[in-house]
Amino acid sequence: MASSLKIVVIEPDPSRAKEIADALKDGGWGDVVILSEPSSLSTVISQNEPDIVLIDLANPDRDTLEHLSLVTDARSRPVAMFVDHSDETLSKAAIAAGLSAYVVDGLQKDRIKPVLETAIARFQMMSQMASELNAAKQALEDRKTLDRAKGLLMRARGLSEEEAYTLIRRTAMDQNRKVADVAHALVTAADLLK
């Protein structure tokens, strides 16, 4: 893992905070900001733009989990949370909040690096899956728009489906645009003319 990662750590206990910072430095991660209070987290996140956030809380409740997930922007960066105790409801809330790692039974120095590496890998995998899902949804929307545009041309000009597609494709090539963009413009124009 890259040693240039910026890490924000939330740890209320000063001795544990030092232990975490030492473990991160031993793991090759030296750019660490320690917070003792989650209340200033939003400011610290916006000022430092960390690559990963590590949170150590003894017994978080559901509201704390959701708040920390929102403030740390868990959908755009890995967030690892270490807790002393949990239950099924909190585990589900952690997953729903988008945490990359939710480790029960507290934080242990020798577990920090492998957990963070796993959190980063899981976050990257989930980000890739989300990106692929969004691309598939966009492709489906583009296909629906293209089919609608072809239908409009078929009705308006009495063209076959193949002829309508050829016209859209030729227009896209002539205008140096994507087929989906030409189809979208045609559908939008037809909607305006109704």
**Fold held by 6-107:** Rossmann fold (3.40.50)
Instruction: Walk along the chain (194 residues) and give the pLDDT tens digit of each residue.
Output: 455 788 888 888 888 888 888 888 888 888 888 888 777 778 888 888 888 888 887 767 677 777 777 777 767 888 888 887 777 787 787 777 778 888 887 677 777 888 888 888 988 898 899 899 999 999 999 999 999 999 999 999 999 999 999 999 999 999 999 999 999 999 999 988 88
What one-letter code names the amino acid at 76?
A: S
Nearest of 158, 181, 155, 156 to residue 168 by alpha carbon: 181
Residue 53 DSSP code: E
Domain definitions of the chain by residue range: 6-107, 133-193
CATH architecture for the domain at 133-193: Orthogonal Bundle (1.10)
Nearest of 163, 164, 152 to residue 192 by alpha carbon: 152
